[in-house]
Amino acid sequence: MNLDDLPSAVAEIEQNIEFLLQLPDHALLGKHRSELLMAHLWLARIHQIGSDRDAAERALRAGVGLADKFLAGRPEETGWELAGIKLRVMLGNVLASKGEVEAAVEVLRPAAAMADHLATIHPAEDLWSEDVDDPYYVLGLVLMQQNDLSPEALRVHERAYAYAEQRRREDPGDADQGWLLFQLCLYRAALLGKAGDHAGARAAWERAHALAESLPVENRTHEQIKARLASAGDVS
């Protein structure tokens, strides 16, 4: 999308949102509710393209509020819970990108709990085909930013790390994802070391070292990589 087109795109989506919100509850059918949530998601994405993270946050918070309202009205329709997860994951990403790490954690923890709930029941209907990261993955990355070494962080990390390794297997040519996994491995070494699992910590450090050797350096110099590995410590 051309940056010059952003204002008209925002205006069109906001007009659609306003129209749908004016419908009485009995006339706001399932397809309208799904369209309303999707409109908030796309509005947030357009604001992100325009580097307006505050506006993206407002759009996503409004979407989360609507998803929770729809779920409360029809708790048997689990698609609303899945929509709430997706909106929260995107909101968590936006907050983390703004440096508001604590706020991101507050948003992502309920998303992870909702994902756990959905895992215990029948598969939820996906209201739209948006590919959104696993909430545990994003929460794990945010806790890594905090350098949180608590038992809860380790529990979350196990899910985040498994997801990152899965993405690495699915697309081994994605260097950015590889370097993110590298960071997770160093964090994993610290987490496991704190928990007393020194063998696991050593394996995580060795995995990070192997990734550093195999990934393209691009803007990262060998000296920077070695310094990052050294700062993690050679656990034994």
Highest mean pLDDT among 204-208, 213-217, 220-224: 204-208
- Residues 5, 116 within the same domain: yes
Whether 2 shows a pLDDT value over 80: the answer reads: no
- Residues 117, 152 within the same domain: no
Taking alpha carbons only, the member of 116, 118, 136 closest to residue 126 is 118
Question: What pLDDT is recorded for position 144?
Answer: 93
- Residues 103, 28 within the same domain: yes
- Residues 16, 87 within the same domain: yes
pTM of the model: 0.82
CATH of residue 76: 1.25.40
Q: Find the mean pLDDT for residues 125-145.
A: 82
Whether residue 217 is contained in a domain is answered as yes
- Residues 106, 152 within the same domain: no
Q: What span, in angstroms and rounded, lies between the C-alpha atoms of 212 and 230?
A: 12
95-106: pLDDT as tens digits: 999 999 999 999
Q: What percent of the chain has pLDDT over 90?
A: 59
Host domain of residue 111: 1-124
Taking CA atoms, 128 is separated from 15, 41, 48, 80, 219, in Å, by 21, 11, 20, 11, 37
- Residues 188, 117 within the same domain: no
Number of domains composing the chain: 2
pLDDT category of residue 233 using cuts at 50, 70 and 90: very low
Q: Which of 124, 156, 187 is the last residue of a domain?
A: 124
Question: What pLDDT is recorded for position 234?
Answer: 46
Q: Find the mean pLDDT for residues 58-84.
A: 92
